[in-house]
């Protein structure tokens, strides 16, 4: 197995009777931070349970940190830290003892677990609150305590399910910077499932996008963003002839009034635009590169593209064919 991959799957499929929760997933999650994205029902939870070795895959194979999910589930769970989305703490316990117990459940000696619990809580900013009962904690403090439980044994891979869910701006910022510190200073890998694109974008270099149990996209965020790169121009006079000319020359254009977005698929797109404007006598009063956010990218893939997209190359090379697969007709799609 490639040492740079923390998770690798080949044809991974999980069915619950007739319902296929994961279908033929071919995933490669590299070291570093990766965002796991997908709408509700996309198969994120099933994927996480499969990766944790808690449920058996129907077919296919996968490895986590080089360990087989079918036969080495316990060893996988020893080497990863899982931070669940929902409450997973006993409200009657003190934070320090809760974190220590989570370490003991991994097989840590009680004394060692207590020492590490102090360090982990200190790291997540709970050093002063560690002897307080969890029931008196705010949502942010609970999230931090769950993260401390996940990192007590210094795992190689941390799986964080919605780590910034329900947090206010300040605590969300702290959680994001904590995850960043773990990735960049601690050199740990993070697989982060989240609905907050901004958070994923700040922490992760890579994403895996699931849709209805299938892989919709995977790769570096920067590479994937290139799919939706456009040049935005504000035109004064002659907008329609300019649009027609650019279309004739093979450019994909979205227009709303005098504002046009021209797909930036060539290196000299701006030169072509200026030449075309000069030929039709249109004034270009403003021109700048419009770079899609991760949220734009997510929406573009989810709403406009289809199941069969496997990689950023596919997205870049054949978006029209892909669109025909399953996107609704209103969005330019239709049955293939």
Partner 1 sequence: MDVAWGSDSGDELELTDSSAQTAKSGEIFEQKYTSWNGTLNPRWMRNWAILRHHLLGIFKKGHRPWSMPTRIFLLIAFIGALSDAAFTLLSGLLGSAEFHALFGVSRDNLYGHILGFFPRNVLFYPLVAALLVGSVISEDRQHGTSALYFSRPVSRFDYIGMKYLSVALIQSLVILFTYMLYFMAEILAFGRGWSWMVDVFPMFLAGFIAGIILIITYTSIGLALSSVSQGKFFPGIGLVAILFGSKTLAAIVKNLFEREILYLLSPYDCVAHVGQAIIGTQQTYDQYPWTYSLVALVAMNAVALYILASRVSSMEVTRE
Q: How far is the CB of 117 from partner 1 (least distance, A)?
A: 11
Q: How far is CA 75 from the centre of its chain?
A: 25
Least Å distance between CB 272 and partner 1?
A: 49
Interface with partner 1 (CB under 8 A), residue from 64, 108, 227, 273: 108
**Nearer residue to partner 1 within complex by CB, 131 or 236:** 131
Q: Closer to partner 1 at the Cβ: 89 or 217? A: 89
Considering only residues 68, 119, 321, 326, which one is a binding residue for partner 1 as defined by CB under 8 A? 119
Is 107 a residue that touches partner 1 (CB under 8 A)? Answer: yes
Give how far the C-alpha of residue 56 lies from the chain's centroid of Cα atoms, to the nearest Å.
Answer: 24
Binding-site member from 20, 68, 112, 238 for partner 1 (CB under 8 A): 112
Please state, in angstroms and rounded to a whole number, the distance separating the CA atoms of residues 301 and 37. 11
Of residues 150 and 262, the one with the C-beta less far from partner 1? 150
What is the x/- site pattern for partner 1, positions 159-198, by CB under 8 A?
A: --x---------------xx--xx--xx-x----------
Candidate segments 7-15, 58-66, 116-124, 260-268, binder of partner 1 by CB under 8 A: 116-124
Show contacts with partner 1 in window 21-50 (CB under 8 A): 45, 48-49
Size of interface with partner 1, in residues (CB under 8 A): 50
Q: Which of 98, 89, 93 is nearest to 133 (CA)?
A: 93
- Dmax (CA) for the chain in angstroms is 79
Residue whose CB is less far from partner 1, 8 or 142: 142
User: Are the beta carbons of 45 and 201 closer than 8 angstroms?
Assistant: no
What whole-number distance in Å separates Cα of residue 324 and Cα of residue 95?
52
* Residue 142 interacting with partner 1 (CB under 8 A): no
Q: Which two tokens stand for residue 217?
A: 């996209």
Q: Which stretch binds partner 1 (CB under 8 A): 8-16, 59-67, 81-89, 306-314?
A: 81-89
> Taking a C-beta distance cutoff of 8 angstroms, is the pair 80, 64 a contact?
yes
The dihedral of CA 79, 81, 82, 87: what is its sign?
positive
Backbone angles phi, psi at 215, to 5 degrees: -80, 120
Q: Classify residue 243 by burial, with Cβ atoms within 10 Å: 0-12, 13-18, 19+.
A: buried
Smaller CB separation from partner 1, 105 or 316: 105
For tokens 């077919």, name the residue: 59
Closest CA to 167 of 137, 206, 203: 137
Tokens representing residue 38 in the block: 């997908």
Which residues of this protein are in contact with partner 1, per CB under 8 A?
Answer: 45, 48-49, 52, 54, 73-75, 77-78, 82, 84-94, 97, 100-102, 104-110, 112, 116, 119, 123, 125, 127, 149, 153-154, 161, 177-178, 181-182, 185-186, 188
């Amino acid at each position: 197995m490639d040492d740079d991959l923390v998770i690798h799957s080949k044809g991974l499929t999980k069915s619950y009777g007739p319902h296929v929760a994961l279908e033929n997933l071919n995933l490669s999650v590299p070291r570093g931070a990766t965002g796991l994205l997908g709408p509700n029902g996309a198969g994120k939870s099933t994927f996480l349970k499969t990766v944790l070795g808690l449920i058996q895959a129907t077919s296919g194979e996968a490895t986590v940190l080089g360990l087989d999910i079918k036969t080495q589930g316990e060893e996988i769970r020893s080497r990863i830290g899982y931070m669940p989305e929902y409450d997973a703490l006993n409200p009657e316990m003190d934070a320090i003892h809760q974190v220590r117990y989570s370490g003991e459940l991994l097989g840590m000696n009680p004394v060692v677990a207590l020492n590490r619990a102090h360090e982990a809580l200190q790291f997540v900013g709970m050093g002063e609150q560690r002897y307080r009962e969890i029931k008196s904690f705010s949502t942010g403090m609970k999230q931090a305590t769950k993260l401390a439980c996940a990192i007590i044994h210094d795992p190689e891979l941390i799986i964080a399910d919605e780590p910034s869910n329900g947090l206010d701006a300040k605590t969300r910022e702290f959680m994001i910077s904590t995850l960043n510190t773990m990735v960049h200073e601690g050199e740990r890998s993070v697989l982060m499932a989240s609905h907050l694109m901004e958070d994923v974008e700040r922490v992760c270099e890579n994403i895996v996008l699931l849709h209805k149990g299938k892989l919709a996209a995977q790769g570096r965020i920067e590479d994937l963003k290139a799919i939706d790169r456009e040049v935005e121009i504000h035109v004064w006079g002659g907008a329609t002839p300019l649009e027609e000319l650019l279309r004739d020359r093979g450019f994909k254009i979205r227009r709303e009034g005098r504002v046009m977005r021209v797909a930036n698929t060539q290196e000299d797109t701006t030169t072509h635009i200026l030449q075309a404007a000069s030929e039709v006598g249109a004034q270009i009063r403003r021109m700048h590169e419009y770079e899609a956010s991760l949220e734009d990218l997510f929406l573009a893939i989810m709403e406009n593209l289809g199941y069969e997209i496997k990689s950023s190359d596919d997205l870049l090379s054949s978006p029209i064919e892909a669109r025909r697969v399953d996107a609704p007709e209103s969005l330019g799609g239709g049955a293939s």
